[in-house]
Each structure stands twice: as structure tokens, then as C-alpha cells.
Structure 1
Amino acid sequence: MMKIATTILCLICLFLMPQVALAQNTKQSKSNVLGFQWLRQNDSIVIDEPQDFYQEIKSIALGNTTTLSFGGSYRFQIEAYINEQFDKNQDQNDYWFLHRGMIHAHLKMGSKFEIFGELNSSLVSSKEAIAPVDKDELNVNQLFARYQFNDNFNMLVGRQNMRLGTGRLIDVREGPNVRLSFDMAQLQYTNQNTKITGFYAIPVQQQFGIFDNDAFQTDETHSALYWTQNWTEKTNTDFYIFYKEETDKSWNEVTANDYRTSFGLRHFGTWQGLNYNNEFVYQLGKFGSETISAWTASLIIEKEFDAATPFTIGAKTEAISGDKTSDDNTLNSFDALYPRGAYFGRVARFGPSNLIDVHPYIKSKIGKIDIEFDYVAFWRFSTNDGVYNPALIINYPPENDERFIGNQIGAITGYQLNNFISFELESNVIFPGAFLQQSSQGDTLYHFVFTTEIKF
């Protein structure tokens, strides 16, 4: 079945490449706009004077006020590790190939009603330990209807990808091969300075096959109220409340029902020429017989320099609580809910729980080339808790009292060939600290990812 899906994707790409090239080389009128977004339902597509077949299918008139648009993307990645578990004596055949193809249709009926549908095929080869985020042969990634009651209120029902705020707790999960979807009902209020979103959602449980994902899986539900307020041109806030229920959740070798409420505040904007983005979250609830009391705080500040070659220097730091002790009937480990898989780069060795990190970076753009260098130092917040992976499963148990986990150095180079085609190379090196070294995992880890993506 994987060979069939791969063949279909290749045929799609062979068909579309000439159309993409034609659309890129064709002289467009100023009124024609193609702006692609991560969430393709947010694309900015304006085709007043189609110049070719590709532009015609981007905006098909079905009446005076009804339009239909088609599009999609194909992403290919090569990912490789050396000493993936900080141990050079393990099997070093750690490289694999990831393919992701998506195709969508967007129907707009005036300014009141829209339907958006998107299919996804995510394949992986040469990888032995395949995770749910690596493979899903064919699935409905998004399928929802939205109705605009008036200038302020709209309602959405169906399946969609989401990203709220900076994606600390709810994200599209763009880094891994399979995106995260929710079956949900959502009501939203917006005006010039305010957006308030409320929803009840059930995360889709990914399977490896064709149209076999579990819909309306009620073992896990998530509801939220998210309020974004633009107070001035330079000062903004997010206030939010998330409530998550999950039956038979596994946490640190214990399985129990988890009822968790997260209260969050995000403050972001500009001050004295600096961009800032600060966030605090507190969690309470019950995990089995244990009382939940966990928190995280994140600070981000950066400065843009308008030089001959513009560049930005920034720094991030955060503290994420871990469990103080295993026998006090209180769980202090923070649950990041549905974060992006590549939380600290695509290397994704450490997840957002029981962690302190300091993360300076510098980035620049030279023509069509984007360059970024960063450094991250990691410590355990609590020495009685272990180090988690991005799925919030303990990868490295608390076998010693050392706090320092390691140093990570990363580099990303991206090249945007045109509106349709982009390339990116990311590399990371992690030097184990005392905690990993004393756990017999003291060898330097190397990680590389090459990505090419076509959007159409």
C-alpha cells in the first residue's frame, strides 16, 4: 500500500511541476496574488485575470459570489542521526526518508459560508522505530464548514489543524511528518482589536493505514477559551483557559485518569526597539489520586538591526516544572498538552517538561537565503524527575542527582527559490552534560535534516 501511495504522490508531482513552473514564469497582472500559509485555509488568493490553467484552478467562479480553489503541497525530508541515544556503541544506521503530500479544496460562498477539505499522505522509509507522527498513508487532515453570522461572530464545525499563540500548548505540529488534527465545534468573536475563541475538541488518534484514524475518540477531550487583545500598536495580551480530560493516561509508569486545567497569560509586543514575547502557565487538577500543581514561564526578547545585511539577535529562556518527589501525592510535572514536536529544533531530544533552558540565537536574510544559528543549554528543573521526549514520555530516568543535561548548537540555512519551491538544511550537535554522562550516555549526538517543499 505504501508503494501505491508513493506512486500516486510522484505522479501528482510530475503533473504539477510543469504547471508550477508555468505559473512562476508567466507574467502576472498586479491584481493576481498567491500567498501560501502553513494553514492553507488562510491562503491569500486573488486571481482577477487568470493567465494559465494553474491560475484558473486557484479561483474557479461558480456564480457571482461563489468560488472554488484547489491547491496542495509536497514535502520531502532526509533525516539522519549519529549517536541518536548518546551512545556510539549502538546501531548507527539511523537515517530515513519522509514524504508528505497534501491536497485541498476550498469552497467560498460569498462572505458568509465556506467549506475546506484537505487530504494528507505521510510516508516513511528506512526507519525501524516508526512513531505515529511519522506515518499515516492516507487520511482526512482537515474538513470543516464555517459560517459567518455577522461582522463579529462565526462558527466552525468539523476537523481542523490549530495553532494558538506561539504554539506552546496547541500547535499545528508542522515539524513532524503527520500534523495534529482536532474534531471540534468552535465559536469565535472578532473585532478590530479583540479575538475570543471558544471550542470543544477531540484530538484525532492517528493510525498508519488508509482512512483508519479514530474519529470522535472520547477517551481524550479538550475545551478552551482563548482571548487575544490588542491594547495598543505595541502591547498585546493573550488570556486563556484550557481544560483537558484523558482517561488511562500514562505518566512515569503510572496509568490513571488525568483532569487538568491550564491558566495562561501571554504578553507580547515591542518596547524601546525590542520585540518581546513572555508567557506564564499554571496547571491544576487531578491525576488519579494525585493533585496536579505545575507551571511554566517563558521569556523571549530580540532586537532587529537594520544594517547592510539586516540581522536579528535574540534570547529565550524558560523554566518548566518537574515532579519534586514521587511520594507526596502531588504531581508537579508540567504537561505541554499539544505542543509542536520540534520544540527545540528538529533534533527533538528533549521535551517541554522538567526543564530549564537558556537559548540565544542570531538570524539573518541574504537575498533569498535565510540563516540562523542558535545555542541551547539544558538543565533538569527537579533532580527527582527525569528528562522527557517531545511526546512527554521519559527518555532518561532520574538515575543520578546531576542537573545539567547538555549543550546544543544548531544551524539552519533556508533557500526560497520562488513562491512555490523552498529548500532547508538544519543541523544540530548535542554535547552531553553530567546527567547524561553519569547515565552512560556520554557520546556527542549529531543530527541533520534536509527538506524540500513544493506548494501549489
Structure 2
Amino acid sequence: MIKFSFVLAATIAATTTFVRAQVGTDVERAPTLTNERYVEDWSYLADPSRRTGHWTEPFKYIPLDEHGLVYLTTGMEARSRYEGYTNVNWGSAPNDSYIWHRFMPYADLHAGKVRLFTQPIFSEITGTDRPVRPVDTTGADMLQAFGEIEMDVGDRTALRMSAGRKLMSLGAGRFIDTRYGPNVPQAFDGLDAVVTSADRQVTVLYARPIDNFPGDFDDRPSRQKSVWGAYATEWLRENRSIGVDVYYLGLLDRDAIFDQGCGRERAHTFGTRIFGDTGTWFWNVEGALQRGSFGTHRVAAWGIGGEFGYRFLQTWLQPEVRFMSDVISGDNNPDDPNLETFNPLFPRGKYFGALSPVGPRNLIQVRPSISVHPRRDVAVSLTGGAFWRQSAADGIYGVPGNLVRSGKGSDARFIGHQVELSVAWQATAELNLSASLSTFEPGRFISDTGPSQTITLISLMANFRF
């Protein structure tokens, strides 16, 4: 195992050349960019007095008529990410290293209350001979392509309806998210309607996830899974920094896989989230109950998690501390046909950091972290984590839902602990550079059920986008 003291010293030394990664935290350097891109509004550039002269502005607002009602917004992302693993799956699989590449331009055409949004993706993986996975590459394909219409339905209330293929993220991304961290994001084909007023928003949707294949233009909607539901947010402050979410999300998976077995699962998830950010204190707490059927038997699962943090804005290095934790149910009796393993649907890709060998099923985890900012554009973060099985009768799962280790060979709960150190530099308003070093040391459950060597990951990333 790499000694932690060496890792810490090397990373602190690197901070002299790396700068802050969080695009949008410094509005003087970069406007807030989003992973979905279509939620960005650049119409304010129609007013010449609000332009700064930055070189990207001619691409963000291109008027196509004399009244400015028809305009085009364009942009792109070019990202390369190196990942080098030793002891994959604690030594169950060969060491692996590769470079992910992706290029994602987009065009957003507005014509009054109608818009057309398109974003192709060109992706590749180099440096490895292993079979590629859906998150590695999809060749050349259409990541997003949808049409949208907006209409006023009341005082300061608008309805937007869209149809087509798009990236989606709801709330904190625990159930539906863009899977932005891996090389190929998770898109959906479907319909959605969003009603937004000054203090609330309601989203109704039906969609099928896109299955990715390595050939060009061969991605297609899943025949196995579909998702539907309603997600409502009530903002308690005018700036939308504090609020409450309530939601229902339904999932049909015709071939769900659990340690208990395989079968058709229909899961109904009912949840709520409380979130807020005062500038110094911030919090995000979420809980959900899951009911439904697995085969001919019932589903009864649950999960609760969240984070609390504080920013020392007037202190040298402006440290930010946070504490994150989750308790997520697993199946208590494999001989009982009822299922108690929680299904997180389509969660964010790098769920517990750059190194995430376990996902949010049958899990208890605690993760404190601290971030410091040696310069205005520098972020250095250190995160530790400990992981246990919630149920000693169930296995552990990866972020996509695959069974990583069966629980049948051990009654131990402790999975292991993880340490991750990351540094990032917002070199320009468009270019972000970052690096991380992670280790996951196995606990008794891993040593009881197979190879149990320490996983290490080194990652380097350059991301240019506007």
C-alpha cells in the first residue's frame, strides 16, 4: 500500500501548479456551466451592455433575425481522462490503465417559445486491450437531441414540454443523474413536462435509458428498463438556495440482478430531500422508501443519506469541511423470496469519488472530507471513507448495480476504508486540469470472500469546455 504520508506530501507539492476545479464558483473567471448544457440561458447577451468582450460570447448568442427572437447557442466539451488501477476488484481482475477521450459539441436553436437542442458525442478509449464497457466508448453517436416548447400558464408560471433524447439530473443525483464522471454519460429517450413558478417546480417524466454500444450510431433505448415519475421542489428563499423536494419514481427492470437471484422488478420509490446553502453552512439530507415486486414477491427497501458542511470563508486557505453518510438497505434473508435490497435506479457515476468499487446498495458508509484553497483558483481535497454491509446476508454491488461479491461466504460487515486526495486547477475560464490518488484497503468481508489486495487509482484529467 502506498504510504499516506508520501501521498499527502506529493499532492501538497503539486498544488503550486494546480488551481481550483469548480467551474462557476468564481463568476469573474467563468459563467456557471452545467453538465446537461441545455439548462444554460445565454439570452442576456442580446443586451450589448451586458457583454464583457470574452472570446466565447459570439458563440453563445448568435442572432438569426433582426428582432433577436431566433438565435443559436453553441459550445463544446473536449475531455481526456487517464485512469490507472492496480488490484482491480481487490485483485480479482488484472491491473488496468487507459485514457478516455470524448468530444461533445452542441447547438441550441431558439425560435421564440420553441427550441431544438442537439449534442453529438465522439468517444474513444486508448491504452487497454480488455473488452470495452458501455461507459468506455460509444464511438460517434447522438448524446442529446430533443425538441421543446414553452408556454405561459399563469402569473410568472411557465410550462416546458420536451420530447427526444436528453441528459437528466434530479435533485442530488441519487436516483437519476447524467453519469458525467465516466466517459459516456447516461442519456434517456422520453417525454417530460416541467412547470416552474417563482418558488416551486414540478417535473413529470417517462423515459427509457439509452443502451450504449461501441459502434457508430448504434445506441438505442433500453428494452429492459424504463423509468417514470414526478419530482417537485419548493424553494424557501428567493435565490433558491434552500428548499424541499418530494418525489415518486417508478422503475421497471425486466432482468434485475441481486445476490438473491434474477427476475423482473417493478420498484416504486417515494422520497424527500431537504437542502440548503447559506454561503457558510450547507446541507443535503434525503430519505426514501421503496415498494413494489420482484418476480411474484414483494419489494420492501429503504435508504437515507446526506451531508453537512461548513466553509471558513474568513480563514486562511478558506477550508471547507463536510461529513457525508448513507445507510441503504440490503436483503436480510436470501431464503425469503421477498426483496429488501434497495435499487438506486440511475445514480451518478463516480458515486463515492474517483474510486468507487462499491455502489449504493446494501451499504453503510461515512465519509468526512476537508478542502482548502491555496489560491483563489486552487482546490485540494482529502476524503476518507469507511464502508460496511447494512445486511450481513446480502452481497455488495457496483455503482451500475452489478453484483461485486456475494454475501454467502461471510457474515462480516466491514468492507473496507478508502482515502482519496485530489487537486484541481481552473487554468482558464474554459480549461480545467485535475488529478487524484485513491486507495481502498479491504476489510474482513473482502478477505473472507476472495482476493483482498488494496486497490489504488491514479487519475489525471484535462477538460476544456465553453
TM-score (norm 2): 0.86
- Among residues 254, 260, 272, which one is paired with 1:265 in the alignment? 272
Q: Equivalent residue for 1:313?
A: 321
Amino acid at match of 2:342: F
TM-superposed deviation, 1:51: 5.8
Q: Equivalent residue for 1:274?
A: 281
Alpha-carbon spacing, 1:266–1:52, altered in 2? closer, same or farther (3 Å)? closer
Alpha-carbon spacing, 1:219–1:81, altered in 2? closer, same or farther (3 Å)? closer
Distance 1:220 1:114 in 2: 28
Q: What is the correspondence of 1:27-426 to structure 2 with a 5 Å cutoff?
A: 35-45=32-42, 46-47=44-45, 48=48, 55-63=57-65, 64=67, 65-87=69-91, 91-92=94-95, 94-110=96-112, 112-127=113-128, 128-150=130-152, 151-215=157-221, 217-232=222-237, 235-252=242-259, 254-269=261-276, 274-306=281-313, 307-365=315-373, 366-398=375-407, 399-426=409-436
Matched residue of 1:250: which SS?
Answer: strand
Amino acid at match of 1:114: R
Number of aligned positions between the proteins:
422
Amino acid at match of 2:381: E
The answer to whether the 8 Å contact 1:432/1:441 transfers is no
Matched residue of 1:177: which SS?
Answer: coil
Segments of 5+ residues of structure 2 without an aligned counterpart are 1-27
Matched residue of 2:88: which SS?
Answer: coil
The answer to whether the 8 Å contact 1:239/1:265 transfers is yes
The answer to whether the 8 Å contact 1:79/1:97 transfers is yes
Alpha-carbon spacing, 1:160–1:424, altered in 2? closer, same or farther (3 Å)? same
Deviation per CA, 1:156-193: give whole Å up to 9, x if none: 11111011111000111011110011111111111111
TM-superposed deviation, 1:85: 2.5
Alpha-carbon spacing, 1:253–1:98, altered in 2? closer, same or farther (3 Å)? farther
The answer to whether the 8 Å contact 1:33/1:44 transfers is no
Alpha-carbon spacing, 1:288–1:385, altered in 2? closer, same or farther (3 Å)? same
Distance 2:459 2:258 in 1: 30
TM-superposed deviation, 1:271: 8.0
Distance 1:308 1:337 in 2: 41
Distance 2:440 2:224 in 1: 37
Amino acid at match of 1:39: E
Amino acid at match of 2:232: W
Alpha-carbon spacing, 1:214–1:427, altered in 2? closer, same or farther (3 Å)? same
The answer to whether the 8 Å contact 1:98/1:123 transfers is yes
Distance 1:219 1:394 in 2: 18
Matched residue of 1:149: which SS?
Answer: strand
TM-superposed deviation, 1:114: 1.3
Between the aligned residues of both structures, percent identity stands at 27
Alpha-carbon spacing, 1:90–1:300, altered in 2? closer, same or farther (3 Å)? closer
Q: Equivalent residue for 1:23?
A: none
The answer to whether the 8 Å contact 1:252/1:393 transfers is no
Deviation per CA, 1:191-242: give whole Å up to 9, x if none: 1110001011111111111111114x44321111000001346741100000
Alpha-carbon spacing, 1:288–1:90, altered in 2? closer, same or farther (3 Å)? closer
Distance 1:253 1:103 in 2: 43
TM-superposed deviation, 1:253: 6.8
The answer to whether the 8 Å contact 2:257/2:403 transfers is no
Task: Name which structure has the greater RCO, CA cutoff 8 Å, separation 6+.
Answer: 2
Distance 2:93 2:32 in 1: 45
TM-superposed deviation, 1:54: 5.4
The answer to whether the 8 Å contact 2:82/2:97 transfers is yes
The answer to whether the 8 Å contact 1:292/1:332 transfers is yes
Coordinate RMSD, CA, aligned: 2.2
Distance 1:397 1:33 in 2: 46
